[in-house]
Amino acid sequence: MAQVSKNARTGSTAHKHVCSCGGDVKMRAVFQSGKLRNVAVCENCNRRERRPKDFDL
């Protein structure tokens, strides 16, 4: 059994998503249909998707 270093998991930010334009994707809370929802927005081109992983497609 190989021993996995515990340090391998620390230090890196989980789930960093990048838009196809190269901009950073940030989660943002917006009102939509009277409800507060979290959406993923590209800071560069303002493209908006429901989930950050939609930018990976």
> Which segment (1-9, 11-19, 29-37) binds Zn ion by CB under 5 A?
11-19
Contact 28, 46 (CB under 8 A): no
Dig out the tokens for 38 from the structure: 């979290």
CA distance 23 to 17: 9
CA distance 41 to 49: 6
**40, 41, 42, 52: which one contacts Zn ion (CB under 5 A)?**
42
41 part of the interface to Zn ion, by CB under 5 A: no
> Which segment (1-9, 15-23, 31-39) binds Zn ion by CB under 5 A?
15-23
Question: With respect to Zn ion, which residue has the nearer C-beta, 32 or 44?
Answer: 44
